[in-house]
Amino acid sequence: MILCSGREVSKMYGGSVVLNKLAFDIYAGDRIGIVGSNGSGKTTLLKLLANHDRPDAGEIHWKKNTRIGYLAQIPNFSDGFTGKDVLKLAFEDLLEIQEEMKLLEKQMEAEGHSPNLNKVMKRYGLLQDEFSMKNGYEIEAKIENISNGLNMEDLLTKHFNDLSGGEKTKICLGLTLLQNPNIILLDEPTNHLDIESVEWLSSYLKKYEGTVIVISHDRYFLDEINTKIFDMEDGELTIYQTNYSEFVVEKEKRLLKEFENYKLQQQKIKKMKQTIKTLKEWANRANPPNANMHRRARSMEKALERMEKINRPVLHRKKMGLQLESAERSGNDIVVMDNVAKKLGNKTILTDGNMFIRYQDRTALLGNNGAGKSTILKMICGEVKPGQGQITIGSNVKIGYLSQEIFAANSDNTVIESFRENVSVTEGEARNILARFLFYGHAVFRKISQLSGGELMRLRLAQLMHQDINLLVLDEPTNHLDIESREVLEEALDHFNGTILAVSHDRYFINKLFDKVYWIEDSKLTFFEGSYDTARRNLLASKMNQRETLVKEKKIKNYIPTREKKEPAVATFDKIEKDLKVIENRIDSIEQQLSAESDLGLLEQLFNEKVECEQARDKIYQELELIMN
């Protein structure tokens, strides 16, 4: 069933064509990823789909009564509103019913045995049925599920207006999900989420019954949830019926085929033009001029004019010119952290932290938001002192640090001024370098405060490329970069001859470049050898072992031996044996799924089910013992 269709959809901004005659159909249940470089029109298309803007030409038609959920910008709320109050807005109609029910409850108490009581009770019964039918009694459970999944339980009691921009975005994302619309439109939903929250959101959207359209530069996320790709390029839209990884392959094949068709057409056009020229020359040489040849030439010219020209496909677009070279070689021991502890106020960030990084290591530091990752990087870079313990930086180590607070202190400087503060070059040399990072012409005189997140990241990377460094310390380096820029960064880091330590929630980026992982959780650092996927599985296995141990300890603690022989259970031996076989088969099935599954949310669900099945199996064993005794 088609929910939405667009025909000849065009949009202009400031005289520039942003969207050019787009055509598309969106079906119920679609999982669409919108991709393209920054400025390609992705957000513009999303605004049109959300009815927050109108096309300059063409039409977009929605199926009647389609409910759209779209997080456009952070709305304003009164000062008393908490995070939970904002989430409750998803259930406004149910909360109104609940309030009326409370008033009727008070009224029933006051009415006593008056004739009006039956009327009040009838109204109350109708409201109660409606409230129950619309799952009103599940409001708290739904809010808790979303809050836990997005790791924002601590934000529920805080005043919304006191939250940071990222925290507000997270709350509003939760509100959008709770509204349960027919179609969800999400613009970079993973930007302010930690890895666990991204995994939860991915699992949630895969099971979501409605339609999902998402703009994202997170390739891992796109692969997990999307089955259709809208590729935005030069204001035009190309649709691929696949996930992101397969789209990359298909797009390359399509471009090569289009380029081949373009070359063949150009050869044909060249040949036709030459034929036209020859016919005219021959016609004019005749005495008198040959009218028949002139007619043939004009006929061929008209055919050439009518020919639908193939635009030359762009195989290689301008990209950020990043090449990172390490300074002279450092020693073998780069960073040695020995029993480091750190507190920020009353919050414990790290206890007994140990880390060892050697020359040319590729080390990722991972953990939830607020776990202390950035603080650890600052301690390594010498910007923050440890509370106790020691961090030793090796001999001849020269650090290049990319923090999340890029250029915060110099927001009034221009791009070229900020660049030359850290790199000793002439203005002409600086402009040439900045052009390689897509700052052309007068763009170098824009103020830092006017730059987008992606532009700030490109500027800092340009500085790092021209500094004397052999240890890169990167805090969320892929934030705000489009996919093409991320790929350029990955290639540059892959060829970097020094050592890299990075914090990131981009799972694709981590898996591709890093083979050592430190995970911070509950103020403890845990080391894993291998990629992100390997570290995640090992971390989950460790958690499962801990939970199994707790379950066993609880069983032992609660076990009370029975001295008296109990009466046999009512159920027959055959019935119990049959139940036991069903449960054991289910446990075997779960164990097979656990070994194959990588999604954290599903793994935890499977583990919880396994524990419940094992408890049920233990009870059946007890029943069998009673019967046999």
507-559 confidence digits (pLDDT tens):
999 999 999 999 999 899 999 999 898 888 888 777 666 655 555 555 555 54
- C-alpha span between 374 and 387 (Å, rounded): 15
pLDDT at 565: 43
pLDDT at 243: 92
- C-alpha span between 295 and 282 (Å, rounded): 12
Assign 484 to helix, strand or coil: helix
Q: Could you tell me the two tokens for 23?
A: 């055509």
Distances 414 to 423, 442, 466, 612 between C-alpha atoms, Å: 14, 11, 18, 62
- Band the pLDDT of 567: cuts 50, 70, 90: very low
Asked if residues 398 and 330 have their Cβ atoms less than 8 Å apart, the reply is yes
Q: Taking the mean position of all CA atoms in its chain, how far away is CA 12?
A: 28
Q: Residue 192: is its pLDDT beyond 70?
A: yes
Distances 56 to 46, 231, 232, 325, 371 between C-alpha atoms, Å: 15, 21, 18, 48, 47
CATH architecture of structural domain 333-534 = 3-Layer(aba) Sandwich (3.40)
| Residues whose CB is less than 8 angstroms from the CB of residue 625 and which lie 6 or more positions away in sequence, other chains included | none
Of 92, 117, 87, the residue nearest 105 (C-alpha): 117
Q: Taking the mean position of all CA atoms in its chain, how far away is CA 360?
A: 29
> Whole-number mean pLDDT of the chain?
85
pLDDT at 339: 95
Pick 575 or 209 by higher pLDDT.
Answer: 209
Q: Could you tell me the two tokens for 473?
A: 């310390």
- C-alpha span between 202 and 302 (Å, rounded): 55
The length of the chain, given as a count of residues? 629
Pick 229 or 487 by higher pLDDT.
Answer: 229
Least confident segment among 77-81, 242-246, 535-539, 570-574:
570-574
The distance between the two most distant Cα atoms of the chain, rounded to a whole number of Å, is 129
Asked if residues 445 and 414 have their Cβ atoms less than 8 Å apart, the reply is yes
Asked if residues 388 and 341 have their Cβ atoms less than 8 Å apart, the reply is yes
Of 273, 291, 272, the residue nearest 282 (C-alpha): 291
pLDDT at 571: 45
pLDDT at 336: 96
- C-alpha span between 457 and 453 (Å, rounded): 6
| Residues whose CB is less than 8 angstroms from the CB of residue 54 and which lie 6 or more positions away in sequence, other chains included | 48
Percentage of the chain with pLDDT > 90? 38
| Residues whose CB is less than 8 angstroms from the CB of residue 384 and which lie 6 or more positions away in sequence, other chains included | 342, 375, 378
- Band the pLDDT of 409: cuts 50, 70, 90: low
Q: Using CA atoms in the order 532, 534, 536, 541, what is the torsion angle rounded to 10 degrees?
A: -170
pLDDT at 439: 87
pLDDT at 422: 80
Query: Helices marked H in 317-383 — which ranges?
Result: 373-380
Asked if residues 453 and 476 have their Cβ atoms less than 8 Å apart, the reply is no
Least confident segment among 41-45, 307-311, 337-341:
307-311
pLDDT at 317: 65
Omega prior to 477 cis, within 30 of 0 = no
* Per-domain residue ranges of the chain: 77-167, 258-306, 333-534, 560-628
pLDDT at 569: 44
Q: Residue 10: is its pLDDT beyond 90?
A: yes
10 Å Cβ neighbour count for 448? Answer: 20
Q: What is the mean pLDDT of residues 605-628?
A: 74
Most confident of 459-473, 515-529, 599-613: 515-529
- Band the pLDDT of 561: cuts 50, 70, 90: very low
Q: What is the mean pLDDT of residues 179-201?
A: 89
User: Which residues are paired to 516 by β-bridges?
Assistant: 363, 529
pLDDT at 568: 45
- Band the pLDDT of 462: cuts 50, 70, 90: confident
pLDDT at 115: 74
Tokens 């799952």 sit on residue: 135
Q: Taking the mean position of all CA atoms in its chain, how far away is CA 450?
A: 25
Q: Could you tell me the two tokens for 479?
A: 């934030």
Q: Residue 575: is its pLDDT beyond 90?
A: no
Distances 611 to 148, 350, 374, 579, 603 between C-alpha atoms, Å: 21, 32, 36, 17, 12
**Dihedral of alpha carbons 607, 610, 616, 622, sign:** negative
Percentage of the chain with pLDDT > 70? 89
- C-alpha span between 98 and 131 (Å, rounded): 7
Q: Using CA atoms in the order 163, 169, 170, 176, what is the torsion angle rounded to 10 degrees?
A: 130
Q: What is the pTM of this model?
A: 0.74
Of 371, 351, 380, 420, the residue nearest 500 (C-alpha): 380
- C-alpha span between 381 and 383 (Å, rounded): 6
Asked if residues 478 and 219 have their Cβ atoms less than 8 Å apart, the reply is no
Asked if residues 390 and 464 have their Cβ atoms less than 8 Å apart, the reply is no
10 Å Cβ neighbour count for 381? Answer: 18
Q: Using CA atoms in the order 419, 423, 424, 425, what is the torsion angle rounded to 10 degrees?
A: -60
- The DSSP output letter for 75 is P
Asked if residues 184 and 208 have their Cβ atoms less than 8 Å apart, the reply is yes
Give residue-wise pLDDT tens across range 417-451: 888 888 888 889 889 888 888 888 888 898 888 88
Pick 601 or 358 by higher pLDDT.
Answer: 358
Q: Residue 603: is its pLDDT beyond 80?
A: no
**Rg of the chain, C-alpha, whole Å:** 32
pLDDT at 627: 60
Q: Could you tell me the two tokens for 257?
A: 């085929």
pLDDT at 397: 93
**Secondary structure element (H or E) that encloses residue 246, with its range:** helix 244-285
Least confident segment among 264-268, 312-316, 452-456:
312-316
